Amino acid sequence: MPRMAIVLGSGLGDFAETLADAVAVPYGDLPHWPTARVVGHPSRLVIGSLEGKRVAALAGRHHFYEGLDVGTVVFATRVMGRLGVTQLILTNAAGGINLGFQRGALMVIDDHINLMGANPLAGDNDERFGPRFPDMSEVYSRRLRGMADAASSATGVAVTHGTYAAVHGPSYETPAEIRYLRAIGADAVGMSTVPEAIAARHMGLEVLGISCISNMAAGVLPEPISHDEVMETTRRVRGAFIALLGGIIARL
């Protein structure tokens, strides 16, 4: 089993195709594995090589907005951790709140704000995973964020940094909600990643998060937000995203 796993966000699943000597298993063929059904998420586990390293790529994730229990949302994270993965890269599409951002930017997640109204660690604590009250003062590893910056310099793929706010969804935010999120220090907003990051830190994994700013958040531009726009942007940045990930994995 690889030491490294990567969860591919909306429209970013193509990365899995770039792995060499790959074995792909549809989620439906994995015992107990929940199936993901969102448009833009071909759902399978691909294990292959990149930059001479073995990587497990999860193309398709589970979202709280699907109405799933948050424990189900982090099922794949728990399995990766128990199989021996020690480094987890979480990627997503997110709305840009920071007015300095542009559609298509790649943001290294420095920290998060959990506004989902749920925590995957609620309920009885399973001591095999980790402690009852895990520290969250460095969810996104400073070391891995530094590697992302080094990969950015080496590949020429620009990155920005910021704080990711996680909301329940599935409706996009209102302009008032986006003003609120900006006021509390969020640079980007999305509907994923945070449950997996919390569960991974609970298990002592090193976590890196990367958001593709697929659209400017509600009210920033005088136009509505659509899932089509999100998918169009992630398709457009596909090459840069894959190059950056390759650079990061080479350094891990």
Residues in CB range of 45: below 8 A, 6 or more apart:
24, 25, 27, 30, 56, 57, 58, 59
Nearer CB in complex with ligand HPA: 116/199 = 116
Does the protein bind ligand HPA through residue 101 (CB under 6 A)?
no
For the bound state, the minimum distance from the C-beta of residue 199 to ligand HPA, rounded and expressed in Å, comes to: 20
- Minimum distance, C-beta of residue 127 to ligand HPA, in the bound complex (Å): 34
Residue 165 interacting with ligand HPA (CB under 6 A): no
Distance (Å, whole) CA 73 – CA 120: 8
Q: What is the dihedral of CA 71, 74, 77, 78, to 10 degrees?
A: 0
Amino acid at 154: A
Q: Quick check: 234 binds ligand HPA (CB under 6 A)?
A: no
Per CB under 6 A, the segment of 59-67, 87-95, 111-119, 134-142 that binds ligand HPA is: 87-95
Asked if 172 interacts with ligand HPA (CB under 6 A), we say yes
Nearest one of 196, 225, 1 to 96, comparing CA atoms: 225
What minimum distance in Å lies between the beta carbon of 30 and ligand HPA? Answer: 26
Binding of residue 215 to ligand HPA (CB under 6 A): yes
DSSP 202: H
Does residue 190 touch ligand HPA according to CB under 6 A? yes
**Residue closer to ligand HPA (CB basis): 41 or 78:** 41
| CB of 182 vs ligand HPA, minimal distance in Å | 13
Q: Does 214 bind ligand HPA (CB under 6 A)?
A: yes
According to DSSP, the β-strands at 188-190 and 87-96 are antiparallel
User: Does 248 sit near ligand HPA (CB under 6 A)?
Assistant: no
Nearest to 181 by CA among 172, 173, 171: 173
Task: Assess 95 for contact with ligand HPA (CB under 6 A).
Answer: yes
Q: What are the backbone dihedrals phi and psi of residue 49, each rounded to the nearest 5 degrees, phi first?
A: -115, 145
Give the active site residues. 10, 41, 63, 65-66, 93, 191-192, 215, 227
**Residue 75 host element (H or E):** helix 75-82
Would you give the DSSP letter of residue 197?
H
Q: Please state the closest distance from residue 189 (CB atom) to ligand HPA, in A.
A: 5
105 near ligand HPA (CB under 6 A): no
Candidate list 45, 46, 118, 191; residue touching ligand HPA; CB under 6 A: 191
CA 150 to chain centre: 20
Count of residues touching ligand HPA (by CB under 6 A): 13
In terms of Cα–Cα distance, which of 119, 107, 246, 121 is closest to 190? 107
Cα separation, 12 vs 7, in Å, equals: 9
Nearest distance, CB of residue 190 and ligand HPA, angstroms: 4
Binding site for ligand HPA (CB under 6 A): 93-95, 172-173, 189-191, 214-215, 217, 225, 230
